[in-house]
């Protein structure tokens, strides 16, 4: 789903829905796992469905607050779409082509905006923006991606670890977005969704010994991630939220999604003195330590820069190209 501005070119959607990985990536019958992995505990997924319900409920609340019919006489963009829905009807398509609320409503209810976060110290917007969506199309695309990606991860690793990755990745995406985008407000769960993709990649790397078809799993994930990041250079797509969420999720995967190595799993039913293998490899320990250091440092530096009013573009003259590359067909004005 391409992202567009809503009102006076001020709203940036923090998400284009990532394509889903192959349907057998995180199932016990997956060819990517060795035979021993089929005995892993399978968790019942309830957190991801609850997140979906919460996002849908939040969108309904936003539309009730928006109340397009009440304000349509004050606007010149046209009539509300879906008038039979009453106060749930959508803004005119010229204002919001995704069938959703106005930018002013999103801003009032917690959209990410540099001035509000930095000048007014409204840090809660770093979290609230993750639960807002610019329209029905935006919401459906994100929630479908979350279901396909998140449920598999939750079944394999449980709700606690997936929940931590989802929220911290979303916040990481919000921090990087606010550091680099000054002129637009931003909404969407893209940071959290890209965090789940990043965690899937680091989980594959740190648990390399338990995969049977390593190359296929790695190539599949890398292609999915590169395609989505490439789409982020289009205008009105908040690729900084994508990148920030992906980096946070990638590091969190090394910390939270570690599995015992295959040779240990083969012997885990034997007495300790007969196992002869360490539960984790030295590389898993090294990745865990480095990832924890980078996570803490990254969040600390990002938050300090943000609340000191720093502009990320002043420290990186080319970084704005990561979110939008100007061409003869469009311009970029996110800085």
Given a cut of 60, whether residue 254 has pLDDT beyond it is yes
Distance, CA of 330 to CA of 4 (rounded, Å): 12
Given a cut of 90, whether residue 224 has pLDDT beyond it is no
Average pLDDT of span 265-292: 75
Q: Are 282 and 187 in contact (CB under 8 A)?
A: no
Q: What pLDDT is attached to residue 4? A: 39
Dihedral Cα 216, 221, 224, 226, nearest 10 deg = -110
Beta bridge partners of 81: 90
Domain limits, the chain: 35-45+133-322
Burial 215-243 (b: 16+ CB within 10 A, else e): eebbebbeebbeebbebbbbbbbbbbbbb
Across 17-21, 137-141, 234-238, the highest mean pLDDT is recorded for 137-141
Catalytically annotated residues: 190, 242
73: confidence class by pLDDT, cuts 50, 70, 90: low
pLDDT in tens, 98-134: 899 999 999 999 999 999 999 999 999 999 999 999 9
Distance, CA of 204 to CA of 211 (rounded, Å): 8
Q: Are 323 and 239 in contact (CB under 8 A)?
A: yes
Say whether pTM exceeds 0.85: no
Identify the CATH number of the domain defined by range 35-45+133-322.
1.20.1540
pLDDT in tens, 162-186: 999 999 999 999 999 999 988 888 8
Given a cut of 50, whether residue 154 has pLDDT beyond it is yes
Nearest C-alpha neighbor of 264 from the set 209, 211, 199, 227: 209
* DSSP label at residue 11: E
């Amino acid at each position: 789903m391409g992202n567009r501005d809503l009102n006076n070119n001020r709203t940036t959607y923090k998400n284009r829905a990532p394509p889903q990985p192959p349907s057998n990536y995180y199932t016990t019958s997956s060819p990517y796992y060795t035979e021993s992995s089929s005995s892993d505990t399978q968790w019942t997924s309830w957190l991801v469905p609850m997140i979906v319900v919460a996002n849908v409920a939040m969108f309904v609340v936003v539309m009730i607050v928006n109340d397009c019919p009440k304000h349509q006489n004050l606007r010149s963009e046209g009539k509300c779409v879906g008038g039979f829905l009453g106060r749930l009807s959508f803004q005119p398509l010229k204002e919001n082509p995704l069938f959703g609320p106005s930018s002013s409503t999103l801003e009032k209810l917690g959209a990410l905006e540099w001035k509000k976060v930095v000048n007014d110290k409204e840090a809660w917007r770093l979290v609230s923006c993750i639960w807002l969506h610019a329209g029905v199309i935006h919401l459906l695309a994100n929630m479908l991606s979350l279901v396909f990606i998140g449920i598999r991860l939750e079944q394999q690793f449980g709700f606690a670890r997936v929940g931590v990755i989802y929220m911290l990745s979303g916040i990481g995406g919000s921090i990087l977005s606010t550091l680099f985008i000054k002129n637009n407000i931003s909404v969407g769960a893209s940071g959290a969704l890209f965090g789940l993709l990043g965690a899937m990649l680091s989980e594959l790397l740190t648990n390399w010994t338990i995969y049977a078809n390593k190359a296929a799993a790695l190539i599949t994930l890398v292609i999915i991630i590169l395609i989505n990041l490439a789409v982020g250079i289009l205008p009105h797509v908040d690729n900084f939220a994508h990148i920030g969420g992906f980096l946070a999720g990638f590091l969190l995967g090394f910390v939270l999604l570690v599995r015992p190595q295959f040779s240990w799993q083969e012997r885990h039913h034997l007495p300790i003195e007969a196992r002869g293998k360490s539960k984790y490899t030295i590389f898993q320990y090294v990745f865990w330590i480095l990832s924890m250091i980078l996570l803490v440092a990254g969040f600390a530096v990002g938050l300090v820069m943000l609340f000191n009013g720093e502009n990320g573009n002043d420290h990186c003259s080319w970084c704005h190209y990561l979110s939008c590359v100007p061409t003869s067909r469009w311009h970029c004005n996110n800085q």
